[in-house]
Amino acid sequence: MLSRHTGKTGGIRQMQPARRKSPIYFTLRATATLGVLLLVGCGGGSSGTASAGASVQANELSPAAKLGEQIFRDPSLSASGQLSCATCHDPANAHAPTNNLAVQLGGPTLATAGGRAVPSLRYLSTVTPAFHFESDGTPVGGFNRDGRAQTLADQAARPILAANEMANASKADFINKLKVAPYAEQFRQVFGAGIFDNPDDAFARALLAIQRYEIEDPDFAPFDSKYDFFLAGRANLSPAELRGLALFNNPNKGNCAACHPSAKGTDGSSPLFTDFTYDNLGVPRNPDIPANNDPAYFDLGLCSRDDLSNRTDLCGAFKVPTLRNVATRRVFFHNGQFKTLRDALRFYVRRDTNPEEFYPLVGGVPDKFNDLPMAYRGNVNTTEAPYNRGQGQQPALSEAEIDDLIQFLNTLTDGYQP
């Protein structure tokens, strides 16, 4: 949240805090925005980029998007009959979990634990580029915490089939459930009378419908936080919120804006509070994740992907999330290690000055970055503020400054009423 990139050669680069987005970023953003506009022109839904305070009325969803919403909310499509996309991505909690479990439970009996904390789906439909490496080697974009899904449709496929989530045995198993859903005839009307004859085709259309719903429904990208109103000149931030914003942007203090840009884009678009890159923060191992009971198990982030398994310099790196609605989160980081925003912020600024607060002692010494094998601990970001301090030095932020930063982060919560 408050850092940028490690300076590993050939891996994730270090960026100076004052550096702005690369040209490829704006090309990708413009391309994605154009794609949404074209879809709107062809009967799609809202682009989700309305200015703060505008009366954002949900455009009539396309037939495919209406199907996607029903699929998204239907627990009967899971092996348990009790788990839907909306179960873990609750619209009432910014499309994130409502509980504080480090990982969610799924499977046929809802007793199988996942491996990573479930992120919010808000603001993914706007300009998230497909995963790629920029010209300087920086990994950018993609969906999921390791960027392995290239589209929202790709992202939707995994939970439907994952044994620890909706746990359908196959695409055909899922389609057999869909065929008897109350909206099955509607599915046929949209995608063809014989769509269920080929489970692979029907599965692809179901994923497309979910993607259309996430793109078209403005609830996934309302841009109606207090900060949006502030940027539009329609709300004032309190003194504490303004101090928090200054700390957020200050490269010698919070340094959050280094990878969570807070300013409008060059095209005037509202900030998404992520640059779509990856960082390695050395988050402590979470004993609440059952997989971690095996001391040989490690979630290695980017290099856990088959196509990046030889990129050991990327081991431990996870996608930088948006900070919009961060104050509504119940757990933080990819492994859900921290349960409050304050605890997460204290980790950022005290990880290196007071490591004994976060890591177990081994021989009287904090076992820093203990959720990574020793060979990959050198990948952790230790060069940028607030990580450029040593044990015993003063943290980059005091407790009072953390208070102000929390005040500002609360202004990123959707649904502000001026």
Query: What is the DSSP secondary-structure string of 67-120?
Result: HHHHHHH-GGGSSSSS--HHHHSBGGGTTB-SS--SS-EETTTT-EE-SSPPPP
153's enclosing H/E stretch is: helix 152-161
Q: In this model, does residue 28 exceed pLDDT 70? A: no
CA angle 293, 380, 125 (to 5 degrees): 85
Q: Which residues pair with 87 in a beta bridge?
A: none
The superfamily in CATH containing domain 223-410 is Cytochrome c-like domain (1.10.760.10)
Look up the CATH superfamily of 60-220: Cytochrome c-like domain (1.10.760.10)
The pLDDT score that the predictor gives to residue 364 is: 96
pLDDT band with cut points at 50, 70 and 90 for residue 303: very high
Task: Give the dihedral of Cα atoms 172, 174, 180, 183; nearest 10 deg.
Answer: -120
CB neighbour list of residue 52: distance below 8 Å, 6 or more residues apart: 223, 224, 225, 228, 229, 230, 231, 232, 234, 235, 270
What pairing do the DSSP bridges indicate for beta strands 132-133 and 139-140? antiparallel
Residue 59: per-residue pLDDT: 58
Q: What's the mean pLDDT in 211-224?
A: 97
Hey, how many other C-beta atoms are within 10 angstroms of the C-beta on 96? 22
Report the alpha-carbon distance of residue 374 to residue 368 in Å, rounded.
Answer: 10
Query: What is the identity of the amino acid at 100?
Result: N
Q: Which helix (H) or strand (E) holds 212?
A: helix 199-216
Which segment of 121-130, 146-155, 331-340, 373-382 scores lowest on mean pLDDT? 121-130
Handedness of CA 199, 202, 204, 209 (dihedral sign): negative
The Cα angle at residue 131 between residues 372 and 36, in degrees rounded to 5: 140
Alpha-carbon distance of 169 to 161, in angstroms, equals 6
Q: Is residue 102 within 8 Å of residue 288, measured between CB atoms? A: yes
Single out the residue of 341, 340, 62, 107 nearest to residue 211, CA to CA: 62
pLDDT at residue 12 tops 80? no
Residues 103-128, mean pLDDT to the nearest whole number: 96
Would the pTM of this model clear 0.85, i.e. be above it? yes
Domain with CATH 1.10.760.10 in the chain: 60-220, 223-410
User: Closest by alpha carbon to 302, among 104, 146, 89?
Assistant: 146
Query: CB atoms < 10 A from the CB of 61, how many?
Result: 21
Model pLDDT for residues 118-152, shown as the tens digit of each residue: 999 999 988 899 999 999 999 999 999 999 999 99
pLDDT digits (tens, 9 = 90+) for 42-80: 333 333 344 443 333 445 899 999 999 999 999 999 999
Least confident window among 30-39, 53-62, 255-264? 30-39
pLDDT at 220 over 50: yes
Task: Count the neighbouring beta carbons within 10 Å of the beta carbon of residue 165.
Answer: 24
Report the number of secondary-structure helices (H) and strands (E) in the chain.
11, 8
Q: What angle do CA 329, 335, 340 make, to 5 degrees?
A: 35
Bond prior to 199 in cis (omega within 30° of 0): no
Contact of 252 with 107, CB cutoff 8 Å:
no
Distances from the Cα of 415 to the Cαs of 93, 219, 224, 362, in angstroms? Answer: 11, 10, 6, 46
Give the SS3 label for residue 415. Answer: coil
pLDDT at 11 over 80: no
Q: Which residues, including other chains, have CB under 8 Å from residue 311's CB and lie 6 or more apart?
A: 11, 302, 303
Q: In this model, does residue 32 exceed pLDDT 60? A: no
The predicted structure's pLDDT at residue 126? 81
SS3 44: coil
Instruction: List, in order, residues 6 or more apart from 55 with CB less than 8 Å away.
Output: none
Contact assessment for residue 367 and residue 209, using Cβ atoms and an 8 Å cutoff: no
The mean pLDDT value of the chain amounts to 89
Q: Check: CB of residue 130 under 8 Å from CB of residue 150.
A: yes
Q: What is the rounded CA–CA span in Å between residue 317 and residue 5?
A: 9
